[in-house]
Amino acid sequence: MKPLTPGIHLAAGYLAVVAVLTTFYWIDFFTAGSVHVRDDAVYLAFEKAFPLADAWMAACSLLGAIGLWRRRPWGLLFGLLAASAQVFLACMDVLFNLNEGNYAIASAAMVAEVAINLGLLVGAPLLIAFLWRRRHELLAPDHVHPAAGTRRPQDPRAAPPPHR
């Protein structure tokens, strides 16, 4: 197994936390409702447009966390997909809150919204940069090539093993 890339625990942890907190957010939204910033039809219609997109983002986050933790190449793919979705969804949320004047609402739900948006708009770009800078390490094979029965070279420029 290839050595763990420095910082990979933090990246996987970030993705796992995002997946879990997103799930808890939507459970609360549709049950207790303590995350509702407002209760009017416009706000509720806007928020109810997000569960499918957030489910995609949470699924990518969870798969990215698992893949990175297990040192699988698909962890990089799902980590990047998740981070991109996080930036997009946070931007949609921020623009809605700005257009609707929601940032003037002094409530625990609005504090949570701001924390979510800041967390994603800081965390996701940092994750993208981290994963992209380390993509070669994360994509390096560490298994036996099934066709050749030999270990793949870590460096793609390395010569293949000599034939016997």
Residue written as tokens 């994360």? 138
Are 87 and 41 a contacting pair, CB within 8 Å?
no
Counting residues of the chain whose pLDDT is more than 90, the rounded percentage is 79
Chain segment 78-108, per-residue pLDDT in tens: 999 999 999 999 999 999 999 999 999 999 9
The structural domains of the chain, with segments of one domain joined by +, span 8-139
- How far from chain centre, in Å, is Cα 35? 21
CB 36 within 8 A of CB 29: yes
Own/partner contacts of 131-135, CB < 8 Å, gap of 24 or more, are 131/11, 131/76, 131/79, 131/80, 131/83, 132/80, 134/5, 134/7, 134/8, 135/76
Q: Which residues contact 23 (CB under 8 A, 6 or more apart)?
A: 58
Instruction: State the Cα–Cα distance between residues 81 and 64, nearest whole angstrom.
Output: 8
What's the pLDDT band for 2 if we cut at 50, 70, 90? Answer: low
Tens of pLDDT along 34-90?
999 999 999 999 999 999 999 999 999 999 999 999 999 999 999 999 999 999 999
The per-residue pLDDT for range 103-141, each reduced to its tens digit, is 999 999 999 999 999 999 999 999 999 999 999 999 987
Residue 148: the pLDDT is 45
Angle between helix axes 8-30 and 51-69 (nearest 10 degrees) is 150
Is residue 35 a contact partner of residue 109, using CB atoms and an 8 Å limit?
Answer: yes
